[in-house]
Amino acid sequence: MQTLAGTRLAQLFNERKSELLGEWAAQQYAITSRRGGVPEAQLRNQFAQYVDLVCAALGSSEQVDFNTATWDEVRTFLAEVSEQRARQGFTPVETAMFVFSLKAPLFARLRAQLASDPAALADLTWTISVLFDGMGLYTTEVFQSTREQVIVRQQQELLELSTPVVQLWDSILALPLIGTLDSARTQVVMESLLQKIVETGAAIAIIDITGVPTVDTLVAQHLLKTVAAARLMGADCIISGIRPQIAQTIVHLGVNLQNVITKATLADAFIVALKRTGKSVMGAAAATEAPGTPGPLRGDPFAGD
């Protein structure tokens, strides 16, 4: 019985292809217009490919079963459409309507053709329902998987953008942190910092937490792990941005930062870093007044001893 239903369905597609395209396209235009539109030529081309693949699958098997290997090419095509629409901002329902938009036109023509044969009408209606529901659900699954991949990629890109490692001076790096520091982000922070240490041969890394809203035990542990990893690469760390509230929290939590240099501001940490690397910043005026005998500018906060 399924073979007969598949043959009739393929025949219906072939005989009424233009009519089905017109009604299907009208529904698709209404959907795609809300998302900036899809060119008419592209929609027509997609419809033609879809119908040709479905008819080929219907004619290649005695069973109308979307889950069999016969329908591999249809699944591949629907996956491409779903992935494309996921990236274009369509919703899962709008994507599934690529398939479901054909059900109403098909049922209308079946009722007209098989009005005198209710048994055949019922059989073919059931076959179409099962087949198209399977295809529609498949587009939704692919859509959700694609969106999850996009979200994960965007999160990774945001993590990388939110953890820039900059070189403040020769052998001195700075890593300003903004937002919550969780396990995933800590891993990105470590990788970015360690890679930069390798590239520059830096001896000092300043981790600035001015933009971190709260510091709890977990955040403190993440910071200590980053410091330990940097030390293994031969670089000492200074943590700056220790506000009064954060200092009180760290003390209350009993977090041991005795082996880590901490400063209230990035500027204070930079001064310490310059001194530890044996460098100083000298004003241009001082260098001009005493050429050949450079000395620190009076009152210059970056001046070395």
How many whole angstroms separate alpha carbon 12 and alpha carbon 55? 10
The confidence score (pLDDT) of residue 279 equals 83
Task: Report the pLDDT averaged over residues 252-265.
Answer: 85
More confident: 56 or 155: 56
Half-sphere exposure (Cβ direction) of 85: Cα atoms closer than 13 Å: 32
Assigned fold of 166-289: Transcription Regulator spoIIAA (3.30.750)
More confident: 292 or 142: 142
More confident: 274 or 298: 274
DSSP result, 82-145: HHHHHHHT--HHHHHHHHHTTHHHHHHHHHHHSTT-HHHHHHHHHHHHHHHHHHHHHHHHHHHH
Q: Where are the domains of the chain?
A: 2-159, 166-289
Model confidence over 227-257: pLDDT tens digits? Answer: 999 999 999 999 999 888 888 888 888 887 7
Q: Do 173 and 165 touch, CB atoms closer than 8 A?
A: yes
Average pLDDT, the chain: 83
Model confidence over 215-224: pLDDT tens digits? Answer: 888 888 888 8
- pLDDT reading at 88 higher than 50: yes
Confidence of residue 1 (pLDDT cuts 50, 70, 90): very low
Q: Which CATH architecture has domain 2-159?
A: Orthogonal Bundle (1.10)
Percentage of residues in the chain having pLDDT higher than 90: 30
Confidence of residue 3 (pLDDT cuts 50, 70, 90): low
- pLDDT reading at 295 higher than 70: no
Give the SS3 label for residue 129: helix
